[in-house]
Structure 1
Amino acid sequence: MKTLAKVAVVAGCAALAWTAGSGVSQAATAQANTSATVVLPVTISKATDLNFGRFMSGASGGTVVVSTGNAQSVTGGVTTTGVLGSTAAAAEFTIAGEAASTYAVTFPAQTNLVNGGNSMTIGSFTTAITSGGSLGTFAGGDETLAVGATLTVGANQASGTYSGTIDVAVNYN
């Protein structure tokens, strides 16, 4: 009986200690201010297509480069035709975004112009802002993004009109 009494006393003390401890707690709270900023979405629309102009392919092939300033230059066995109406032109896009925000312009590594089973590769894209702010930072409002590139022409490239597309992406940094 003494053992049973001891167990009952110990159990009662444990219950009393648990009850006393459960009513005593130390809660701490704090608040944080919250905010959100909505910015203008980046927009881009094509104004002018990229045109490498007219040229002739030689026995060794070469390149045709169109600068962001609409200048055509050739290398290797490629020669210009000098024909009126064959003016090369950089692609132009109208872009806009949140003023003072930075952005990046990205292109595919390369893309092709095709004419039937014949193709040429476009790569080495160049960019410039021809109105508005500076390349890489929106000034606010519409800006003109000029895009030039290099066209690789094969030796004795088949004559004809080649066509394709380039994908230009503008994203906030």
Structure 2
Amino acid sequence: MKTLLKVLVMAGCTALAWAAGTGVSQAATATAGTSATVVLPVTITKTADLQFGKFMSGASVGTVVVDTANAQSVTGGVTTTAAFSTTAAAAAFTISGEPTSTYAITFPAQTDLTGPGTPMTIGSFTTAITSGGTLGTFVGGNETLKLGATLTVGASQASGTYNGTVDVAVNYN
């Protein structure tokens, strides 16, 4: 009887072990592919400074405008003079990065030029880019950015050289 009981217990354990390994529990696996793409960083390099050129201040406030085609114009109490070379020029930059990528340009609303007199304010920036904000299709696509602006000149502004900077940033869209 003890032997029969041992055989039945062992048969029952074997049946449970077999049932546990056959279909009661099932595992499945799958494989996913992986990838990564490294792009060129976007860069901006200054190739020319923004130059408002030479002009004379008058009895009232005026402006000097330099457009993206390097032309100088004046309004109000400011007079340009043919006696001096105006040397007006828009700022120029080269933008480089991942070909066919689009980008955005940012710059401040205004900045100042400081010198011997009251600071003068630069604002109303204008831009011209060679392809509308999409980098060229060749490796290391480049674009040229031209930046013009309006300089507000005070009445009877002190003569001398005034200097300042304008920070221009570029980011991928």
TM-score by length of 1: 0.77
Between Structure 1 and Structure 2, how many residues are aligned?
Answer: 150
Tell me, which stretches of 5 or more residues in structure 1 are unaligned? 1-19
Structure-2 residue corresponding to 1:79: 79
Root-mean-square deviation (CA, aligned residues, Å) is 2.2
Structure-1 residue corresponding to 2:67: 67
Q: Which segments of structure 1 move beyond 6 Å, counting only runs of 4 or more? A: none
Q: Give, in whole Å, the separation in 1 of the partners of 2:117 and 2:77.
A: 22
| Identity percentage of aligned residues | 75
Instruction: Give matches, 1:61-140, under 5 Å.
Output: 61-116=61-116, 118-129=118-129, 133-139=130-136, 140=138
SS at match of 2:114: strand
Bigger-Rg structure (1/2): 2
- Per-residue deviation, 1:58: 1.7
Matched, 1:52 2:52: yes
- Per-residue deviation, 1:87: 2.0
Q: Give, in whole Å, the separation in 2 of the partners of 1:46 and 1:162.
A: 20
